[in-house]
Structure 1
Amino acid sequence: MALRCKSLITSFAFLAMTGCTIIPGSHYEGIESNEKTQNLEQELEKVNIQLIDSALIAQQKQLQPKIKAPSSLTSIDTSNYEYKLGVGDVITIGVWDHPELTIPAGTQRTAEFDGFRVQENGTITFAYAPNVQAAGKTIPQVRKELVTRLSRVIEEPQVDVKIVAFKSQKAYVTGEVKQPGVYPITETPLTLIDALNQAGGLSNAADWRTVTYIHDGKTETIKLDNFYTQGDISQNRLLRHGDIVHVNRNDKQSVYVLGEVKRAGLVKLNRYGLSLADALSSSGGLNENTSDANGVFVLRKRNLERDGILADIYQLHAKNITALVLAEQFELQPQDIVYVTSAPLARWNKVLSLLLPSVQAVDVIDTSVTAVN
């Protein structure tokens, strides 16, 4: 966080020197046109400018992902799941009415200690049944092989086989969970959600929206937020040996609130979202002495090469009482910049041209933070 704040200060100090004043309490009076300002004004052609009104709010709601009906979701089918033994697994073997073939449990020993470990060559050795292939086999398959071997010396042997230690297969949960570590794959199916729960759940610094899932060298982004908020169980996965579940930090799950507010800075998004009203409230509200209530802007960066647009800029006329309702319904996105201008607001094109470098400033900050991490 210290590095992030330092990067913010450095970036905004640079912007201030180039004529983009974004420090609370600043004013635009007396700014003279120069070459840099003219170039910035030309960038307005690449900016999509909209007012925050009821039509825009309705458009936002239409673009929100629709919650799928439960019948359309694909769940994990575990009905045919069978655990296959591997090297290092430990099993116990009991033969009914033949105690001489069963190792008695000692008071100071465990079932794992007295059990039969699958050796490096994938076999186990039992009385009258040497070198039974176990690796890659299920418990019913191993039991069947033992019955076949023991039938040569015992009439209709009844054999009981159990796994007492799962050592051969494991999945990894890393990143921002409370208990990152290695979790065994057992005879009970282990799903991605199960693994996160076993790891204690997400930490306070976790990005709850997505997690990274790596299987057989292929990386997939799991929309965790869809699972929790919409019940989209198609986002769940059945974990196999060697799978990795990584939870990223939520460093980018925040917005910047700048300008004429009482406490400028970062405001974190939570898993329930963040409205424009929430962001302004978290910053102490508008500065009544210096702010222009009609000059509340939200800057949202776009992909210039893909969309042909540098940024979307939304303006809220906060002097109108209905603006409070609009601000409460306007949902912010990660890395948005909320900027409140000083009073009076004259020549709004000039103000917007001065705000545009703030979009590039976010890139500078993210690049420096990512390089260090």
Structure 2
Amino acid sequence: MKQLFAALLVVLVSGCTVIPGAHIPSGDYSNADDEDAFDLEDQVDIYAITPGLLAEQLAQSESEQPLLNDSLEAELQEYDYVVNRGDVLNITVWDHPELTIPQGSDRSPSEAGNWVHSDGTIFYPYVGKVEVAGLKVTEIRDILRERLVEYIQDPQVDVTVAAFRSKRVFLTGELKQPGTQPITNVPLTLVEAISKAGGLTEFADWTDVTLTRDSETRRFSLRELYQSGNTRQNVLLRPSDIVHVSRNDAAKVFVLGEVVEPQSIKFGRSDITLAEALTDSGGFAQATADASGVFVVRKAPEGSDKIANVYQLNARNATALVLADQFKLEPRDIVYVTAAPIARWNRLIAQILPTAQAIYFFARAEDEVMNN
């Protein structure tokens, strides 16, 4: 019996290093036998959530000036529509109604206009076939005027596009009215296209809007555009562009550890603070949580030599929850509430006790048999 209990004591003492339960251990995770092993503590930066940290983050956000997209402004200034196959032109020669196709009340401009054929040409009286595909309306106007001079003295020609049918962009995803939109003589930007599509649905992730052009995909954030005035998140659309608005399923935070209801929380359109995440999860598990160990684990920025940034809140004093209400979470953050040491010890005892009881009763039964 003494030997059995001595062995049990050794198991209990060694178990202190492998106590089960929700907690964040520390120490050297390197393994001399593993070539790919590393020291975890060297791979993370740890920050305490204090008034100083929050003030520093606030000052940084306030110092960020709106980023202006100069290239977009230049493109808008130089934009001019180029006619292509399928478009319908409306050509007017002033004081010569015989050269202008009558519209009437039963014919719209697109029905009465000059359709650009599949070979890129139109037919016009006196002039004949004219190559117009790939030209601007001003260039088409000059060509017609030069050719009509042989038949009309000082012709006054006007050319407009009655129907834009050759170019379009495609909008998919979480939009109220997804579909196609034509490219017209009015430049169409990413924000304007989304607005014409009825705006975003309640399930849209406005931080994840992708634009696919010529087999290349770029990602834009409408949140930065609307909230921070970053116009670099807007772009002039071109023919055959594909705009996709993702769902917000992936934009969530994870609350784990010693809370009443561990869960994932979707981000939505507004910010989520640490206090809101804890509240939505039912708050601390009063019997087991260590309020001094509230951690936020966040992936390190691109280009960093770290794998994560860890922010710790000591909420043992309830007034510290004011700091939690000011600490904004980011998508894919992991909120982790550690277990109190006594809770981890109780879990160890709960796992070992059935084994200890079995050993005790087995030894006692064996002694009774030997004594009889």
Normalising by the smaller structure, the TM-score range is 0.7 to 0.9
Structure 1 segment 1-373 matched on structure 2, within 5 A: 33=17, 42-43=28-29, 45-47=39-41, 48=44, 49-61=46-58, 64=61, 66-69=63-66, 75-77=72-74, 78-302=76-300, 307-309=305-307, 311-343=308-340
CA contact (8 A) 1:292 1:345 kept: no
CA contact (8 A) 2:255 2:335 kept: yes
CA contact (8 A) 2:19 2:344 kept: no
Query: How much has 1:331 moved relative to structure 2?
Result: 1.9
Q: Distance in 1 between matches of 2:55 and 2:298?
A: 18
Report the AA paired with residue 141 of structure 1: E
Query: How much has 1:84 moved relative to structure 2?
Result: 1.0
Report the AA paired with residue 84 of structure 1: V
Q: Distance in 1 between matches of 2:77 and 2:47?
A: 53
SS in 1 for 2:172: strand
Query: How much has 1:62 moved relative to structure 2?
Result: 5.6
SS in 1 for 2:54: helix
Q: Distance in 2 between matches of 1:135 and 1:224?
A: 35
Query: How much has 1:199 moved relative to structure 2?
Result: 1.4
Query: How much has 1:305 moved relative to structure 2?
Result: 10
SS in 2 for 1:85: coil
CA contact (8 A) 1:293 1:318 kept: yes
Residue ranges of structure 1 left out of the alignment (5+ in a row): 1-29, 352-373
Q: What RMSD in Å do the two structures reach over aligned CA positions?
A: 3.4
Query: How much has 1:282 moved relative to structure 2?
Result: 2.0
Q: Distance in 2 between matches of 1:135 and 1:260?
A: 68
SS in 2 for 1:248: strand
Q: Distance in 2 between matches of 1:227 and 1:342?
A: 41
CA contact (8 A) 2:66 2:229 kept: no
Structure index of larger Rg: 2
Report the AA paired with residue 331 of structure 2: P
Please give the per-residue CA displacement for 1:97-141, whole angstroms capped at 9, x wherever unaligned.
Answer: 322222222443322122111111211001111111111111121
Q: Distance in 1 between matches of 2:282 and 2:180?
A: 44
Query: How much has 1:164 moved relative to structure 2?
Result: 1.0
Please give the per-residue CA displacement for 1:230-276, whole angstroms capped at 9, x wherever unaligned.
Answer: 11223221111122222222222111112333333111224442210
TM-score, normalization: structure 2?
0.74
SS in 2 for 1:196: helix
Report the AA paired with residue 125 of structure 2: A
Q: For the structure 1 residues 80 and 295, does the alpha-carbon distance in structure 2 shift closer, same or farther, using more than 3 Å as the test? A: closer
Q: For the structure 1 residues 346 and 138, does the alpha-carbon distance in structure 2 shift closer, same or farther, using more than 3 Å as the test? A: same
Please give the per-residue CA displacement for 1:316-351, whole angstroms capped at 9, x wherever unaligned.
Answer: 221213312210122212222222344456789x99
